[in-house]
């Protein structure tokens, strides 16, 4: 039982895919100006990474190692097409706001990285848990950044007003560069208090 907990919880805190493994940063930055879009993106990625881990882990004994990248890419793109079509059918506005970033889940390094590093060597049950864990780790960062940007940038949280009327919205938070700064600070905080891993640079 302890092992299950480790696989599930580790990627959310210590071994976070974004701030520790530095995977899948691209989309994490672009969709976080609002909580709603961050949430939809987080759910989409969690579904894709769990699904791809499951499928690839089931097929791990059949995939020849030479063409494994192509096999992984086609599994992932099929799942992304499914997610994209479902989003277009159920939440059209949100899918328009996310524009190309749903498609870019294909090249999101988290999905590819987990398939390569975990699902190819482990049985389906663990792989699914690993997928969920990493999806949640990604979601956590997305929601934190989305929350900070929306509260300070528009004075709302998921559309609800939270800041007093006297607060003047900080438009800077809605611009792309602020996402870089917030993630930089998160990495700093995590390395100082949690992992104690430091780079020489």
Partner 1 sequence: MLVDYINLALNQIFVENILLAFFLGMCSYLSQSRKMESATGLGVAVIFVLTLSCPMNWAIREFLLAKGALAWTGSESLAGLDLSFLGFICYIAVIASLVQLVELVIDRYFPALYTSLGIFLPLITVNCSILGASLFMEERGYKFGQSLVFGFSSGIGWFLAIVALAAIRKKIRYSHVPQGLRGLGMAFIVTGLMAFGFLAFSGIDLKTVTKKAPEPAAPAVEAPALEAPTIDIPSDLEDEDLEGEA
Is residue 64 a contact partner of residue 3, using CB atoms and an 8 Å limit?
Answer: no
73 in contact with partner 1 (CB under 8 A)? yes
Of 58, 125, 171, 188, the one binding partner 1 (CB under 8 A) is 188
| Residue 184: Cβ within 10 Å count | 11
Of 7, 12, 29, 49, the one binding partner 1 (CB under 8 A) is 29
| Count of CA atoms in the C-beta half-sphere (13 A) of 10 | 11
Tell me the closest approach of the beta carbon of residue 41 to partner 1, in angstroms: 13
Region from 46-54, 57-65, 80-88, 162-170 binding partner 1, contact rule CB under 8 A:
80-88
User: Under rule CB under 8 A, how many of the chain's residues touch partner 1?
Assistant: 46
Region from 42-50, 55-63, 138-146, 169-177 binding partner 1, contact rule CB under 8 A:
169-177
Of 14, 60, 68, 191, the one binding partner 1 (CB under 8 A) is 191
Q: Is the dihedral of CA 99, 101, 102, 107 positive or negative?
A: positive
Contacts of 61 (CB under 8 A, 6+ apart): none
CA–chain centroid gap for 18, Å, is: 7
Of 40, 41, 148, 179, the one binding partner 1 (CB under 8 A) is 179
199 in contact with partner 1 (CB under 8 A)? yes
37 in contact with partner 1 (CB under 8 A)? no
Region from 56-64, 118-126, 132-140, 184-192 binding partner 1, contact rule CB under 8 A:
184-192
**Cα–Cα distance measured from residue 60 to residue 114, given in angstroms and rounded to the nearest whole number:** 13
Is residue 111 a contact partner of residue 105, using CB atoms and an 8 Å limit?
Answer: yes
Region from 1-9, 131-139, 160-168, 190-198 binding partner 1, contact rule CB under 8 A:
190-198
Of residues 40-59, those binding partner 1 (CB under 8 A): none
- Binding region for partner 1 (CB under 8 A): 22-27, 29-30, 69-70, 73-74, 77-78, 80-81, 84-85, 99-100, 103-104, 106-109, 112, 175-181, 183-185, 187-189, 191-192, 198-201
């Amino acid at each position: 039982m302890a092992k299950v907990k480790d696989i599930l919880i580790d990627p959310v805190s210590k071994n976070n895919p974004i701030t520790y493994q530095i995977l899948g940063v691209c989309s994490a930055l672009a969709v976080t100006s609002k909580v709603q879009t961050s949430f939809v993106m987080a759910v989409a990625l969690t579904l894709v990474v769990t699904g791809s881990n499951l499928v690839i882990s089931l097929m791990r004994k059949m995939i020849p190692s030479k063409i494994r990248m192509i096999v992984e890419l086609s599994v992932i793109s099929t799942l992304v097409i499914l997610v994209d079509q479902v989003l277009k059918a159920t939440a059209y506005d949100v899918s328009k706001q996310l524009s190309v970033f749903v498609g870019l889940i294909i090249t999101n390094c988290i999905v590819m990285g987990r398939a390569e590093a975990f699902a190819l060597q482990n049985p389906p049950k663990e792989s699914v848990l690993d997928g969920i864990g990493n999806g949640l780790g990604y979601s956590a960062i997305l929601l934190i950044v989305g929350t900070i940007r929306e509260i300070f940038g528009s004075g709302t949280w998921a559309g609800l007003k939270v800041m007093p009327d006297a607060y003047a919205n900080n438009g800077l938070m809605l611009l792309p560069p602020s996402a870089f700064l917030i993630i930089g600070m998160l990495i700093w905080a995590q390395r100082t208090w949690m992992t104690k891993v430091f780079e020489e640079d």
